[in-house]
Structure 1
């Protein structure tokens, strides 16, 4: 068995590189743009009409890359939910 000694700075530099490499290879990063079904799931709503109302009123961001394809910004949905938080007593 071999023992490798590193200076503290070199160890942390190596450690940072390993973390950077692992994070770049992660496959489970959530997508920025999600479809309507997933948006309704996160908002805990069941009606597409409610989702359209939120979109039409400008409460959540969306993109329409094609005529029948509407994608929603995950961050804006999270911001919308956070904006309606009620603090406890």
Structure 2
């Protein structure tokens, strides 16, 4: 095993480069499909019944890949919110 010694300035410069590289590789785009908890946060609702009502009435898109897993389309939630915007005078 080899031990590498660096001066403090060199260590922090290397560390900054690594952080910069990792941030450039990270995908900052939010996920298209989100779970119920995140959907309720976006809609500012606290009831799963209200979320189910929006889903059942076709107001927001969803996918059900498995029986107990329901995912919501972030874009359709944003469209639903934008559709109900009230313009100021």
Same fold (TM over 0.5): yes
Offset, 1:49: 0.1
Q: Once superposed, what is the RMSD of the aligned Cα atoms?
A: 0.9
For 2:33 and 2:63, the matched residues in 1 are separated by 8
Aligned residues: 66
1:84 aligns with: 84
Q: CA deviation at 1:60?
A: 0.1
State the partner residue of 1:49.
49
Unaligned runs of 5+ in 2: 1-23
Tell me which stretches of 4 or more aligned residues in structure 1 moved more than 6 Å.
none
Residue segments in structure 1 that go unaligned for 5+ positions in a row: 1-21
Q: Deviation string for 1:60-79 (max 9, x for gaps)?
A: 00000000000000000000
TM-score by length of 2: 0.71
Q: What's the TM-score once normalised by structure 1's chain length?
A: 0.71
CA drift at 1:29: 1.6
Question: CA shift at 1:26, angstroms?
Answer: 3.0
